Structure formats: structure tokens, C-alpha cells
Amino acid sequence: MARNIPRQQPMYISTLNINVDDLDAQSQEDYRYQHSSQETISLKSPKTNTRSYLMILVVILIIITLLSIVALVIGIYSLALTMKNSATNTVVSATTVNTATISASAECSSSPLTTYQVSTTVPPQCSNYTLNTDETRNIAYTSSLNYCDNILPFNSTTPVWIRFQDQAGTLIAKSPVPPNSCGSTATGWYAGQYPSAFFTTATSIVCFFYAANTCYACNSISITNCQTFYVFLLPVTPSCNYRYCTL
């Protein structure tokens, strides 16, 4: 009797091994890729942090700079405001001091002291004054000796700012004027120094030349430099025939 021999199943070991190898290779590739990515991230991380720190530092420096500029602007504005207030006070002070000085009796000297008051703005007397064009007070006038400064505006109880112009000249004489000039026997001349700086007021004396004495009597006056002309704060003269002489 014939025996039935069971049929053996074919083996696919080789194929299975190939598939396993393929899986291992793919797994290894994935593993290497993952670890490579992590290394790349870990390498880039410090650079990113450093860049962030630098950006923060730059922003802080910009803020500090802006705050410094604001503080500087505020400081300059405060300084300008202080200087403006100081200049205003100087103008007021100059007017007050000059009036008080002229009210007091002057010490007569042909070489007197001259004091100055400086202003950074236009003094009010440069636009508020009395204009005098009287040709008889010019030092070149000798036709008559019957004039004196005991009438308006010179006889006012308060000294008046006067500007000389046209035939009168523009200045009070700066050196002794011989008697019998400018319509007077007692000629007045300014013994102090004129202010050279704009908006500056000088205070000194006018001497009256009489009886061979170049400073026989005197008055304290003030002169303001108004850029293109001078104005004079003049009190009443000691008596007639005393007169302010101009040129």
C-alpha cells in the first residue's frame, strides 16, 4: 500500500530577512535624521539667544538715548526761560537805578566814574522819548546867550528821556564847551563814557563850564544806546543859564 507523504510548505526566510533588513535600514535612517535635527536645533539655540539679548540691549540703549535728549531739551528750555526773566529784571532794574541816581546830588568831577546797565532786549526808552531839534543848543550856535534849560521838558520833577535830532545834533558834547556857546554862559558837556554796546545804559555826569571852571556845577544823567541813536535821561539844570550843549 502506498504511503501518503505530507507536502512540505515552501520557506521564505530569505525574503523575510530582506524585509527585516529594509526595516532596520529605514529605522536607522529615521534615528539618524531625528538625532541630526536635534543636534542642529541645539547648535542654533545659543545663537538665537545671543541675538535676542543684543536686540534687547539695543532697545534699552535707544530708550536711554531718547530720555537723555528729552532731559537736555528740558534743561535748555529752562535755561532760556531763566535768562529771559533775568533780562526783563535787568531792564526794570536799570530804569529804577537810573532814576534814583539822577534824583540824588552828583559829585562834580571832570573825570567821573561811569556805571553801566546791560539789557538783552530793547529798553522802553528807545521807543518812548521826547524829541528835541532845537538848533540853539548846538555848540555851533553863538548868536544869543539868553537860553537855559529850566523849561519843559527839562524842568519836569521827574527826569525825561530825550532824543536830540536834526539841527540840534545827536549827542551831548563830549568835551568842555567854551562859555557863550550853544546859547548859554554855562555850557553843559558830558564827562563820562558813552555806552558802546547796544541796549546798554551808562550813568555819569554832565559838567557845566562856568567862570573858568570846566566842572563848576554838574548833574547826574543816563544815556542809552538804542542801536542807531542815543537817548538821554536829563534832569532840570541847577539854574538858568545852565544848558545841555549838543553836537
Residues 30-83 pLDDT 10s: 555 555 555 554 445 566 678 888 888 889 989 999 888 988 888 888 777 666
Rounded to the nearest 5°, which phi and psi values hold at 115?
Answer: -110, 155
Our measurement of the distance from residue 76's CA atom to the centroid of its chain's CA atoms, rounded to an integer in Å, reads: 10
Q: What number is the average pLDDT over the span 194-217?
A: 96
Alpha-helix residue ranges (DSSP H) falling in 107-225: none
Instruction: State pTM to two decimals.
Output: 0.58
Q: What number is the average pLDDT over the span 161-169?
A: 97
Contact, 185 vs 241, CB < 8 A? Answer: yes
For the chain, the structural domain boundaries read: 19-247
Predicted pLDDT at 152: 82
Predicted pLDDT at 145: 87
Residues 207-224 pLDDT 10s: 999 999 999 999 999 999
Our measurement of the distance from residue 79's CA atom to the centroid of its chain's CA atoms, rounded to an integer in Å, reads: 9
Predicted pLDDT at 102: 41
If pLDDT is split at 50, 70 and 90, which confidence band does 231 have?
very high
Q: What number is the average pLDDT over the span 100-125?
A: 81
Q: What number is the average pLDDT over the span 185-212?
A: 97
Predicted pLDDT at 100: 34
Least confident of 23-32, 60-69, 101-110, 164-173: 23-32
Q: Closest by alpha carbon to 137, among 109, 163, 167, 110?
A: 167
Grid cell at residue 175: 568835551
If pLDDT is split at 50, 70 and 90, which confidence band does 121 have?
very high
Q: Residue 201: how many CA atoms within 13 Å on its side-chain side?
A: 27
